[in-house]
Structure 1
Amino acid sequence: MHRIILFRGMNTGGVRAPVGEQRAMAEAMGLKNPRTLQASGNLVVESALATDRLEADIEAAMEKTFGLKIVAMVRTPDQWSKLIAANPFPKEAVAHPAKVVAMVMKDGIRPGALDAVQALCRDGEAVKAVDGVLWFWFPNGQGGSEIFKKATPRMLGMGTGRNWNTVLKLAEMAAGKG
């Protein structure tokens, strides 16, 4: 079964692991058909392992192989399809896919996080929580947003965001199309 693996903070902020080496690591772990999406911390593999076991194994392999303590979040194609269907900003995603971000959470959204991050919204920005995923609409882009600057894991919980373009491409890859 396909698995989508999202790495938090990979190839950003000085944390680097070349994608070719990530694929080689996955193969060495016995994962089948590893494919990466750009150099942005996304890996799709075939594995029968349960998602929590695969998360632990991949985090351990990242530390052993690259010396990096990287958080991994694993989702099945079914979970990813449900995430896509739950997008609370569908019109915005069609019109401006790079400005809609799904933040996949490792262990859920911290209590009070939604209210705290909604208080940071400015200039038409919006945040919604759906099925344990934080969804962001950044009409003016993420770069200048107070949300982007202040919404830390301490506030929200541990998660990693992917824009709508990436969400859809990962779905294609997990379906064997990419």
Structure 2
Amino acid sequence: MKARTVWIILFRGVGGATRLPVAPLRQKLAEAGFSKVATYINSGNAIVESDLAREAVVERIAEVCAREFGFAKDIHAVSLAEWEELIEANPFPDAVAVPKFLLVAVLAGEPEPGKVEALRAFAAPGEQFAVINRVAYIHTPGGFDGRNLAAKFDRGIGVPNTARNWNTVLKLAELARAAAT
């Protein structure tokens, strides 16, 4: 029997006009063969268990979402083990005191060093930014004002990505750990 992996699924761009209704999403993912399906808030987060490889998981979920919900944006799959590493690697442990101002962005690839350095120029006093193992950590203690590092990040990093705040990171870890038992 193949080993089963718990995957944290991050849908890019859910919110505003783009919706993925969570109850129907859970149902359709279960019908597609995923087990231990869970969702977290209506902003593009799911947990699934599967014996498929990452690429096959993303492909199957993308097919379901396109067919059932007309959703055709990026989907990222991170294993529970990788998510635990992402949490452990947080280079700004003091930033978790106000978790909504610590963003974690899962990157689809390694950004060019020049792009990372160019983004640093947008950091306001007190803001911090680091990329570790295809994950960007962005701490903006003054919030998000539309001109700072967080506002420039998405286009500036140069690779597809999707970000969650630290509260969501921890909640997804909790849900994924529960699915792994």
Same fold (TM over 0.5): yes
Aligned counterparts of 2:91 and 2:116: Cα–Cα separation in 1: 14
> For residue 125 of structure 1, what is the amino acid of its counterpart?
E
Instruction: Find the partner of 1:15 among 15, 18, 21.
Output: 18
Task: Give percent identity, aligned residues only.
Answer: 33
**TM-score, length of structure 1 as denominator length:** 0.91
Answer with 54-63 or 40-49: which moved more: 54-63
Change (3 A) 1:58 1:143: farther
Give the root-mean-square deviation of aligned CA atoms.
1.8
* Unmatched runs of 5 consecutive residues or more in structure 1: none
Corresponding residue for 1:65?
Answer: 68
1:136-175 aligned at under 5 Å gives the runs 136-153=138-155, 155-175=157-177
Q: How far apart are 1:109 and its partner, in Å? A: 2.4
* Unmatched runs of 5 consecutive residues or more in structure 2: none
Does 1:5 find its partner at 2:9? yes
Change (3 A) 1:66 1:80: same
1:99-136, CA deviations, whole angstroms, 9 ceiling, x for partnerless residues? Answer: 11110012332442211211111131111111111110
Does 1:38 find its partner at 2:30? no
Does the 8 A contact of 1:125 with 1:139 survive in 2? yes
SS, match of residue 46 in structure 2:
strand
Q: How far apart are 1:51 and its partner, in Å? A: 1.1
1:111-122 aligned at under 5 Å gives the runs 111-122=113-124
**TM-score, length of structure 2 as denominator length:** 0.90
Aligned counterparts of 2:10 and 2:88: Cα–Cα separation in 1: 19
Q: How far apart are 1:153 and its partner, in Å? A: 3.9
Structure 1 stretches of at least 4 aligned residues deviating more than 6 Å after TM superposition: none
